[in-house]
Amino acid sequence: MRADYRKAVRRSTEVLKDHGFDRVPIDLSKIFNDLRLTLAKKSYSDFAKTGGLTILQVIEYFESDLGACAYNRTTEQYVIYYNDTKNNPQLDRFTIAHELGHVFLNHYSEVDSDVLLRKKIARWKYRRFENEANCFARNLLAPVPLVEEMIDLDSPMVIPDMQAAFNISFQAANARLGFFNSDLHAIHQEDYGYFRGYNINFGYYCNSCKSGEIGQACFCKICGIEANPYNKIHDRIFYPGFNLDQDKKTTICPQCNNIEFCQDASYCRFCGTGRVNWCISCSEPNDGNARFCIKCGSKTNFYENNFLKTYNNKDSDFKGADAVYYNDGVEMNNVLRVIECPRCGNEEFSDNAGYCRICGLTSYNYCEGQPEYDGFGEENVVYHKNLGNARYCETCGRSTAFLKEGILKSWEQAKPGSEESSTADVSFDDIPF
Ligand SMILES: [Zn+2]
Ligand SMILES: [Zn+2]
Ligand SMILES: [Zn+2]
Ligand SMILES: [Zn+2]
Ligand SMILES: [Zn+2]
Ligand SMILES: [Zn+2]
């Protein structure tokens, strides 16, 4: 049976996806940490010390001066051994990735032994295992779509650049290039999208803020200077920011941390903040980490409102935010009309009632109205219906009737865990004596 390279490539991509990788060099310790109950790694030095052996004896025992993997069939645990005495951390990375290949490609299910030893396995099988594990390793550490991206940068220095970008040895980078075309055929077309989101340290950069995300932009979205890059470096920076959905809208409100939005909502219904990081001068929708508009260089909505700090500010590290669930509001029926008047408690409404017949409160949580102009310059105000907990209109961002009438508290007061929301009573500061 021939080596199954397609399987090896596919499996390496699956492992990267499963462990949530989004950048190279691949941090292998993440895999060991995630699987710490079933997977461990140990250096030849440590193994020699605990066993009272010399390094040479360890090499003889494993029949390899690079590394080995042992499988305990009772506990179903794997231990990967690597020869650290070569003092070549990049080689160690490849050895460990290779042994991970034997684990993730299930080679142990095809043999009886606990260690994959050359002399205990049929030659053809051993060679297949080795080829598959090497294929897995090179695609785990240097996924072929990313190599393609680097080759597209058309650098005459591609081997040293690949070594630095993927943290692999000269030999591994060479082999990586050698198998480039065959691995390219093995990769699934749909996996390209996944790798497009990867950060590679190497490439063009903004020479003022080192941002690696400059692409075809006119202005650097992080520091706002006119981007004119022609050099490549290895320590580009990828500035974090808000996650946006496919409509370029943030999935968490950058002001009040609400994560509940109606479909198509352009504004947060609790605090009125716009979900799109638009340019305040040309309205271009920008990325979630953009401080400046890539089209015109003006400030963005998120930067203007201090949701993103200046890139060279000590606090510019974006920590992400914890979602907040606002749990107050007025119950509405399926046409967004109140079921019980929130001001007087009246429950009797005729089918087309716009107001409470007892106290006159609106029975719909309309916004204050958005002026629209028809072709003849006539102004027409459009009022949007909103949910019972909306302080602001999700469509136009204007305040709602329930906020203005005091039916709903401000989001700051309603935020679960805030002082205002836990103490409904008058605070002592309000007492005039
Ligand atoms: Zn092997
Ligand atoms: Zn910049
Ligand atoms: Zn909000
Ligand atoms: Zn702009
Ligand atoms: Zn009423
Ligand atoms: Zn509105």
* pLDDT (tens digit per residue) in 351-409: 889 999 999 999 999 999 999 887 787 888 999 999 999 999 999 999 999 999 999 99
* Smallest-distance ligand from the CA of 330: 5
Question: What's residue 119's pLDDT?
Answer: 78
Dist. CA 293 → ligand 3 center (Å):
22
Mean pLDDT of 54-63: 94
Whether 276 and 245 have beta carbons less than 8 Å apart is answered as: no
| Shared domain check, 216 and 155 | no
* Smallest-distance ligand from the CA of 304: 4
- Name the β-bridge partners of 233: 203
Question: What's residue 155's pLDDT?
Answer: 66
Mean pLDDT of 135-158: 88
Dist. CA 261 → ligand 5 center (Å):
28
Statement: residue 88 has pLDDT above 90: yes
For 211-263, write each residue's pLDDT tens digit: 988 877 789 999 999 877 778 888 888 898 999 999 999 999 999 999 999 99
| Shared domain check, 125 and 75 | yes
Dist. CA 245 → ligand 2 center (Å):
24
Burial of 399-429, coded b for 16+ CB within 10 Å and e otherwise, reads: ebbbbeeebbbebeebbeeeeebeeeeeeee
Statement: residue 32 has pLDDT above 50: yes
Question: What's residue 232's pLDDT?
Answer: 83
Q: How many domains does the chain have?
A: 3
Whether 66 and 99 have beta carbons less than 8 Å apart is answered as: no
Give the separation between CA 225 and CA 294, rounded to whole angstroms.
10
In a domain, 426, yes or no: no
Dist. CA 242 → ligand 3 center (Å):
13
Local structure of residue 8 (DSSP, 8 states): H
Statement: residue 141 has pLDDT above 70: yes
Question: What's residue 374's pLDDT?
Answer: 79
Q: Residue 155 belongs to what domain range?
A: 5-195
Backbone angles phi, psi at 204, to 5 degrees: -65, 150
User: Which residues, other chains included, contact 350 with Cβ-Cβ below 8 Å and sequence gap of 6+?
Assistant: 357
| Shared domain check, 270 and 253 | yes
In a domain, 19, yes or no: yes
Local structure of residue 134 (DSSP, 8 states): H
Dist. CA 393 → ligand 2 center (Å):
35
| Shared domain check, 98 and 13 | yes
> In the numeric block, which tokens belong to residue 406?
């005091």
Question: What's residue 423's pLDDT?
Answer: 43
| Shared domain check, 261 and 361 | no
Question: What's residue 204's pLDDT?
Answer: 87
* Smallest-distance ligand from the CA of 358: 5
In a domain, 207, yes or no: yes
pLDDT over 90 percentage in the chain: 71
Q: CB within 5 A of ion ligand 3: which residues?
A: 253, 255-256, 258, 268, 270-271, 273
In a domain, 375, yes or no: yes
Of the candidates 177, 195, 213, which is a domain's last residue?
195
In a domain, 413, yes or no: no
| Shared domain check, 238 and 179 | no
Give the separation between CA 235 and CA 165, rounded to whole angstroms.
9
Summary mean pLDDT of the chain: 90
| Shared domain check, 64 and 209 | no
More confident residue, 189 or 359: 359
Question: What's residue 313's pLDDT?
Answer: 62
Dist. CA 222 → ligand 2 center (Å):
5
Whether 359 and 341 have beta carbons less than 8 Å apart is answered as: yes
320 — pLDDT class (breaks 50, 70, 90)? low
For 287-303, write each residue's pLDDT tens digit: 999 999 999 999 999 99
Dist. CA 355 → ligand 6 center (Å):
19
Within the chain, what is the greatest distance between any pair of CA atoms? 94
pLDDT over 70 percentage in the chain: 94
In a domain, 134, yes or no: yes
In a domain, 301, yes or no: yes
Statement: residue 421 has pLDDT above 60: no
Dist. CA 206 → ligand 4 center (Å):
18
Dist. CA 200 → ligand 4 center (Å):
27
In a domain, 126, yes or no: yes
Whether 288 and 302 have beta carbons less than 8 Å apart is answered as: yes
Dist. CA 346 → ligand 4 center (Å):
50
| Shared domain check, 169 and 23 | yes
Whether 308 and 364 have beta carbons less than 8 Å apart is answered as: no
Whether 200 and 232 have beta carbons less than 8 Å apart is answered as: no
Dist. CA 54 → ligand 3 center (Å):
64
316 — pLDDT class (breaks 50, 70, 90)? low
